[in-house]
Each structure stands twice: as C-alpha cells, then as structure tokens.
Copies of this chain bind each other. A is one copy, B any other.
Amino acid sequence: MRISEFQEVMRRTYLERDAGRGEDATFRWMVEEIGELARALRTGDRANLAHEFSDVLAWLTSLANLAGVDLDAAAARYADGCPKCGAVPCRCPG
C-alpha cells in the first residue's frame, strides 16, 4: 500500500472521531499503543508484534491527519538516503 493510500484510509475510517477527540487525546492514544509495542518487544510476544506496529502506525497517521501533515511528502526526505549526511548507508558520526 502507498503511504498516501494508508493516510486516506485512516482519514475515511477515523478522522471524524479523531477530530471530535482532539489532538491531545489522539496523541495520548498513540502513546498508549507505543506502550503496547514496548511490551510486545520486551515479552517476546512475536505473534502480536505486527499487530502492535500497525496500531502505532495507524495512530501516528491519524495524528498527521489532524495536524494536516501529508505523511508521504514528509517521508520523501528519507528517499535519497540519510537526510543529515546524504549517504546510503548513513555515515553520520556517533
């Protein structure tokens, strides 16, 4: 799926609800999902990992919809290598 398609799917499915909830509460939901991802990584619950990654991606995308950010356009800064050093693989110091 394209990033832009995923963002559109999220808009159709959740924007009305997200807008009613607001940016702060949507951010908090995303952080809850990040906690669930942390737990799945820690406990080795590999079967659940893909599920938790998709939930974090979904909430991040919902938040981008609320903030009016085009995630596909934003992601493009990584398309040609590290945005800091310009190299593939990244050669940033440290």
Which A residues form the contact surface with B (CB < 8 A)?
1-3, 6, 9-10, 12-17, 23, 27, 30-31, 34, 38, 41, 46, 49-51, 53-54, 56-58, 60, 63-64, 67, 69-79, 81-82, 88-90
A1 to chain B, nearest CB (A): 6
- Cβ contacts A to B, 28 pairs, < 8 Å: A1-B2, A1-B3, A1-B72, A6-B78, A12-B88, A13-B81, A13-B82, A13-B89, A14-B89, A14-B90, A23-B41, A27-B38, A27-B41, A41-B63, A41-B67, A49-B67, A50-B74, A51-B74, A53-B71, A53-B74, A54-B74, A54-B75, A54-B77, A57-B60, A57-B71, A57-B74, A57-B75, A60-B60
